[in-house]
Amino acid sequence: MTESLITARAFFERARAGQLTAVRCGSCGELAIPPKELCPACHARAWQPVPLVGEGTIASFTVIRVAPRAHAADAPYAIAVVKLQEGVSILGRIVDIPLDKVAVGLPVRFRPLGAQDQTSIGFGPLG
Amino acid sequence: MRRVAVIGVGVTKFGLHDRTSAELFADAAGDALTDAGIPASAVQALYYGNVVGGETEHQLHTGPQAASVLGIPSVPTTRFETACASSHAAFRHAVMEIGAGVSDVILVGGAERVLNVSTAESTEYFAYASDAVWEQPLGLTFPGVFALIARAHMEKYGTTEAQMAAVAVKNHRHGALNPKAQFQKQITIDQVLRSAYVADPLKLLDCCPFSDGGAAVVLASEEVARRHRKPVWVLASAAASDWMLLGDKRDLARVPATERAAAAAYRQAGLGPTDVDVVELHDCFTIAEIVASEGLGLFEPGAGGRAAETGLTSLGGEMPVNPSGGLKAKGHPIGATGAAQIAEIVTQLRGEAGPRQVDGARTGLTHTLGGNTATVLVSLFGRD
Ligand SMILES: [Zn+2]
């Protein structure tokens, strides 16, 4: 059991401290982010936490110009699916990269974003 | 399983209405019952699709609400919510209930009202179909989901913005032939390409509109359907799901739930994509039509954009897609969409689609996708 890790709350606590964390299946080795209760590959319930390097490349992106009400002040902003070095992917907000420089294949690094007292996943330039 | 047929259809005009979603559904259901030529007393259940009633109308419990407004309060009623695929999911369960011999006549439908709230509000409510912990806090929108899919498709297959625009132009051309469509006006490639970006690379005219509307179909067992003038047989109805999170989807350029639901539907019917004469598929965005046409096996992966551009999917083309105008031009009242697509295919297979008729159509397919591609329904239909 990895009770402290299986929750989104635990994930975001680590993320707030700058650490992007995945879980690895103790039975078959599958890596997952965010955590799930059962391993999607073998359905075992034997996760171990795995700290990730937090680096990856943009697999796909968009620039949101018509935003939901809560994000209207941020628009336009970029959101990307980032393929992490370890092979898993996660959605995040792109920050500190000019919108016209955001591209598929661009290397990015994880950074926690704080908005509305809530940590969310961001990615900024690698350098 | 017993054979099941659609014996009645009804659809309101889509667009702005000064009526509640329950009233819109009831209007469509009244037409469907008249079309079926059976009394409301014959209806044994209502399966109903509605998505954002709680947000836009402060109305939950929308199943019995709709049944009460229609005037059949005592039948068992269930509301289905699978985002934009809700009334198609309702349809599949009704097919199984009749197929299993539990009921003989079931009313299926759905309705949505969103034009009574602002675009900013409806944009927020539609985003609720994405994950509230991992995706909504990032400011992801419904167009944003398909923009990520579009970018991946462009990267992997070389699909162009002009090819996506061709889908919009084609569906508006079809919609101009449909008196129930929200937009009955043709547009040009240039107009699409010059429209403002909503979520790059998707522009305003790549997106379906927000719509109010209702749709209903009457389903019946073979015994009841045989007494009807033109039953349209349900040859298959299949569902599939996929990961909610975009990061969990292995290949954003494909929709595995479409591929799985299509494979199951073709297997149930003993048919393949080349047997299909007419298709109503889920074009909430132009890229969605391209990816769906590939996932349904109508074209090879990566060939959907070119198919639209070269006219293969136009009325009169080799594989007519969305003769109704699709979600793009006909409109997309999300709870009603699945039932409205089924109504169009039934109309086509009866040969009653007028200027948008696909000549000699004998086998039809409907495909409805829920929100972030995590739900897909595919059904197949045939006539005697
Ligand atoms: Zn495992």
* Chain A residues touching residue B134 (CB < 8 angstroms): 8, 34, 90-91, 121
- Domain spanning B4-117+211-232 has what CATH number? 3.40.47.10
Please report, for residues A110, A121, B4, B7, B328, the alpha-carbon distance to residue B382 in angstroms, rounded to integers and kept in the order given.
Answer: 52, 49, 11, 12, 25
Best of A23, A65, A99 to mutate (most B CBs within 10 Å, chain B):
A65
Query: To the nearest whole percent, how much of chain B has pLDDT over 90?
Result: 98
Question: Looking at residue B43, what is its pLDDT?
Answer: 98
Residue-wise pLDDT tens digits, B4-21 = 999 999 999 999 999 999
Q: Do B151 and A104 touch (CB under 8 A)?
A: yes
C-alpha span between B257 and B245 (Å, rounded): 13
Task: Find the mean pLDDT for residues B200-220.
Answer: 98
* Chain A residues touching residue B119 (CB < 8 angstroms): 66
What residue of A is the nearest CA neighbor of B130? A91
Task: Give the three-class secondary structure for B199.
Answer: strand
- Phi, psi angles (nearest 5°) of residue B170: -65, -45
Question: Looking at residue B284, what is its pLDDT?
Answer: 98
Chain mean position to CA B92: 13
Q: How far is the CA of A122 from the centre of ligand 1 (A)?
A: 28
Task: Give the three-class secondary structure for B195.
Answer: coil
Residue among B139, B151, B202 minimizing CB distance to A61:
B151
Best of A39, A62, A88, A113 to mutate (most B CBs within 10 Å, chain B):
A62
Q: Residue B371 is encoded by which pair of tokens?
A: 């929100």
Choice between B192 and B250, residue whose per-residue pLDDT is larger: B192
Mean pLDDT of chain B: 97
What's the topology of domain A55-125? Answer: OB fold (Dihydrolipoamide Acetyltransferase, E2P) (2.40.50)
Residue-wise pLDDT tens digits, B234-268 = 999 999 999 999 999 989 999 999 999 999 999 99
* Chain B residues touching residue A116 (CB < 8 angstroms): 137
Residue-wise pLDDT tens digits, A81-106 = 999 999 999 999 999 999 999 999 99
Q: How far separated are the first and last CA of chain A, in Å rounded?
A: 37
What angle, 0 to 180 degrees and rounded to 10, lies between the N-to-C axes of helices B337-350 and B86-99? 60
Residue-wise pLDDT tens digits, B316-345 = 999 999 999 999 999 999 999 999 999 999
Residue-wise pLDDT tens digits, B43-62 = 999 999 999 999 999 999 99
Of B213, B182, B184, B181, whose CA–CA distance to B333 is shortest?
B213
* Chain A residues touching residue B155 (CB < 8 angstroms): 60, 104
What angle, 0 to 180 degrees and rounded to 10, lies between the N-to-C axes of helices B142-157 and B286-295? 60
In total, the C-beta contacts within 8 angstroms joining chain A to chain B are 100
Q: Do A66 and B246 touch (CB under 8 A)?
A: no
Tell me the one-letter amino acid at B236: A
pLDDT of A4 above 70: no
C-alpha span between B277 and B383 (Å, rounded): 12
Q: In this predicted complex, what is the ipTM?
A: 0.95
Residue-wise pLDDT tens digits, B75-101 = 999 999 999 999 999 999 999 999 999
Residue among A65, A72, A91 minimizing CB distance to B245:
A91
Residue among A8, A66, A79 minimizing CB distance to B133:
A8
Question: Looking at residue A7, what is its pLDDT?
Answer: 86
Residue-wise pLDDT tens digits, B366-383 = 999 999 999 999 999 999
Within chain A, how many helices (H) and strands (E) appear?
2, 8
Q: Do A61 and B148 touch (CB under 8 A)?
A: yes
Hey, which residues of B are catalytic here? 84, 332
Largest CA distance in chain B: 55
Confidence of residue A5 (pLDDT cuts 50, 70, 90): low
Q: Do A65 and B198 touch (CB under 8 A)?
A: yes
Q: Enumerate the domain spans of chain B.
A: 4-117+211-232, 130-207+238-324+360-383
Q: Enumerate the domain spans of chain A.
A: 8-51, 55-125
Interface check B321 vs A, CB under 8 A: no
* Chain B residues touching residue A104 (CB < 8 angstroms): 151, 155
Interface check B199 vs A, CB under 8 A: yes
Residue among A72, A79, A121 minimizing CB distance to B120:
A72
Q: Do A68 and B120 touch (CB under 8 A)?
A: yes
Q: Which residues contact B286 (CB under 8 A, 6 or more apart)?
A: B164, B165, B167, B168, B202, B206, B328
Confidence of residue A29 (pLDDT cuts 50, 70, 90): very high
* Chain B residues touching residue A65 (CB < 8 angstroms): 196-200
Question: Looking at residue A114, what is its pLDDT?
Answer: 87
CATH class of B130-207+238-324+360-383: alpha beta
Question: Looking at residue B229, what is its pLDDT?
Answer: 85
Q: Do A60 and B148 touch (CB under 8 A)?
A: yes
Cα R_g (chain A), whole angstroms: 15
What stretches of chain B adopt beta strand conformation (E)?
Answer: 4-11, 45-49, 77-80, 105-112, 197-199, 202-203, 213-221, 232-241, 278-280, 363-370, 375-383
C-alpha span between B39 and B285 (Å, rounded): 39
* pTM metric for this prediction: 0.97
Q: How far is the CA of A56 from the centre of ligand 1 (A)?
A: 23
